[in-house]
Structure 1
Amino acid sequence: MSQPTLHDLHRPLGHNGPKVSPLGLGTVKLGRDQGVKYPNGFRIPDDDEARMLLKLARDLGINLIDTAPAYGRSEERLGPLLRGQRQDWVIVSKVGEEFSDGQSRHDFSASHTRFSVERSLKRLETDYIDLVLVHSDGNDLSILNDSDVYPTLAALKREGKIGGFGFSGKTVDGGLKALEQGDCAMVTYNLNERSEKAVIDYASEHGKAILVKKALASGHVCLSPGEDPVRASFELLFEHPGVASAIVGTIDPLHLAHNVATVANVLRQN
């Protein structure tokens, strides 16, 4: 039996966004192995392994790639790894969180937001980023109401440096507020954690985009014996019409192929 792919299952990222694969490749593990919340340790792949993983993702119909300055060297590595392929990828990056010496710090000022996006453009070797999300520290409403990060991203969108902007937050109130002016919310939604469903509902009603993080609960999903946790997770996500894509951060080619096959089967049954 041939490996199912996602090539014919791409869908719009919100009302006016680019078409994206229902599964996106998260790249935290390409750049950072400290302070990450996975159940098992891992080794950061070398360039050849990373190149093969990206090629496999592309061959399987994945065109969405998720990175961030807080992912260590992820952006710097992706620039050279994606040379000559820019038109094949929809790139999502972030602003607001920096990671160095094992520590995260946050800065939502206008100057840092602009600096961060310009730096991401250089690192990724591109003249635009499809979508930039604010990497929240958990104080979602205060970031949106009291900082200049959103107006600065709106200006960068008008300048053509980013295609859209949005928010990767931790609260329902933050997600709803973020979608009033922004294009996209990235929410946590999985078998263990469904509180942000209201944000997905709002996005669906207003033509905004939803990306799901921790779709597989960072590998922590538990079910009754005999149930496939990956399938059950994707069935939950994709029964909601508001979900554009789920970001999964695997560096294991077999896991990636299994995830793609599962999503393809779930979507073709719906």
Structure 2
Amino acid sequence: MRYIDIGGSGLRGSAVILGCMRIDQLSEDEVAGLIGAAADAGITMFDHADIYGGGQCEEVFGAALARSPVRREDVVVQTKCGIRSGFFDFSAEHIRASVEGSLRRLRTDYVDLLLLHRPDTLMEPDEVAAAFDDLVTAGKVRHVGVSNQNPAQLDLLRAHVRQPLVANQLQFGLAHTLLVDSGLNVNTGFDGGVVRDGGALEYCRLHGITIQPWSVLQHGHIAGTFLTNPDYQELNEALATVGAEAGATPATVAVAWILRHPARLQPVVGTTKPARVAELALAADIELSRETWYALYRAAGNRLP
């Protein structure tokens, strides 16, 4: 496993993050086993949100970690806030209340990284700044970031928030390549040349913000995995070929494809199976060539100008 300095903040996390969105389906014993499997594979970072499982994901994780031989100080726990039932809420009151609830459920005094989940167009930046100041000063949050935000939204926040925004979670994977499409199709008439995210990849690289890709094995907007999907036959055949050469599974190669990008992306992999955790963690040990990276990009149905 490789480790990175997230957003140049000094917060060191594994190159692969374990997403905990579905662990509410597991017992406390099973989650403890999942945490142990992650630790054995070198994964030290876990991704949560206050809404996952209605809070049950944080609840069962906190209980399992408390009884696990894995120490709290040896892992990086991040959570997200801002999504409520039918609306988004970046008010200072909600941010503070959400963090208090997450800390209680996670059975911890602090979260290493707090992300704002989905952009709230009614956001008052000064309220966010006030909430961050309170939480960081109190030691309840150590670092802050965002999720699903474009460069203009980041600039708006950065003009008011004193703490560096160290991470931005964005959907990216072989079947959802919007993050790189426009940069590859500059000055063309191809659909891929349309800039839909304001140049988020380049912006984050310029400002040292770590991008954390989510739904890395999904196609569409969480429409299902592309692995073994007949609509992605060419891609699956290409992944199988590369995997056979590397001694890895197609899923591992698909995550390695993300890790190959020089932006040092930090993918979030969501699984509830210990064996799958070990399998996907191996992606950090695979170095794809430039030729292979582009071959997989094309096999996913993309074209180059």
Q: Aligning the two structures, in what range does the TM-score lie when normalised by the shorter sequence?
A: 0.7 to 0.9
Q: CA deviation at 1:27?
A: 0.7
**Alignment root-mean-square deviation, CA:** 2.8
1:94 equivalent in alignment to 2:80 = yes
User: What is the TM-score when the length of structure 2 is the normalising length?
Assistant: 0.71
Q: Can you list the C-alpha shifts for 1:127-172, whole angstroms capped at 9, x where unaligned?
A: 1111011111xxx372555672354124322332211111112656
Q: How does 1:135-150 map to 2 (within 5 A)?
A: 135-136=117-118, 140=119, 142-144=121-123, 148-150=127-129
Flag the 1:141–1:51 CA change in 2: closer, same or farther, 3 A.
closer
Q: Which moved more, 1:234-243 or 1:74-83?
A: 234-243
Q: Which moved more, 1:193-202 or 1:55-64?
A: 193-202
**Mapped contact 2:260–2:287 kept (Cα < 8 A):** no
Q: How does 1:80-91 map to 2 (within 5 A)?
A: 80-83=63-66, 85-91=71-77
**Mapped contact 2:172–2:216 kept (Cα < 8 A):** yes
Q: Can you list the C-alpha shifts for 1:104-145, whole angstroms capped at 9, x where unaligned?
A: 553221111111111211221211111011111xxx372555
> Residue in 2 aligned with 1:215?
216
Q: CA deviation at 1:189?
A: 1.2
Counterpart pick for 1:230 among 243, 247, 251:
251
- Cα distance in 1 between the residues matched to 2:213 and 2:121: 22
Counterpart pick for 1:239 among 260, 273, 297:
260
- Cα distance in 1 between the residues matched to 2:103 and 2:178: 34
- Cα distance in 2 between the residues matched to 1:194 and 1:254: 27
> Residue in 1 aligned with 2:88?
106
- Cα distance in 2 between the residues matched to 1:107 and 1:147: 14
Q: How does 1:40-189 map to 2 (within 5 A)?
A: 44-72=25-53, 73-83=56-66, 85-98=71-84, 105-136=87-118, 140=119, 142-144=121-123, 148-169=127-148, 171=150, 173-174=152-153, 177=156, 181=161, 182-189=165-172
What percent of counterpart residues are identical? 27
> Residue in 2 aligned with 1:40?
none
Flag the 1:175–1:189 CA change in 2: closer, same or farther, 3 A.
farther
Counterpart of 2:201, as a letter, is I
Which structure: larger Rg? 2
Q: Can you list the C-alpha shifts for 1:177-231, whole angstroms capped at 9, x where unaligned?
A: 5566522211111122233353232222222222111122255233514222534
> Residue in 1 aligned with 2:207?
206
User: What is the TM-score when the length of structure 1 is the normalising length?
Assistant: 0.79
Q: Secondary structure at the match of 2:202?
A: helix
> Residue in 2 aligned with 1:18?
11
**Mapped contact 1:144–1:150 kept (Cα < 8 A):** no
Q: Can you list the C-alpha shifts for 1:44-94, whole angstroms capped at 9, x where unaligned?
A: 111111111110011110000011110120111111211162112100101
Long gaps (5+) in structure 2:
181-198, 227-231, 240-249, 294-305
Flag the 1:146–1:176 CA change in 2: closer, same or farther, 3 A.
closer
Flag the 1:13–1:154 CA change in 2: closer, same or farther, 3 A.
same
Q: Secondary structure at the match of 2:52?
A: coil
Flag the 1:116–1:68 CA change in 2: closer, same or farther, 3 A.
same
Flag the 1:208–1:262 CA change in 2: closer, same or farther, 3 A.
closer
Flag the 1:104–1:58 CA change in 2: closer, same or farther, 3 A.
farther
**Mapped contact 1:64–1:90 kept (Cα < 8 A):** yes
Q: Secondary structure at the match of 1:227?
A: helix
**Mapped contact 1:96–1:113 kept (Cα < 8 A):** yes
- Cα distance in 1 between the residues matched to 2:216 and 2:289: 19
**Mapped contact 2:170–2:212 kept (Cα < 8 A):** yes
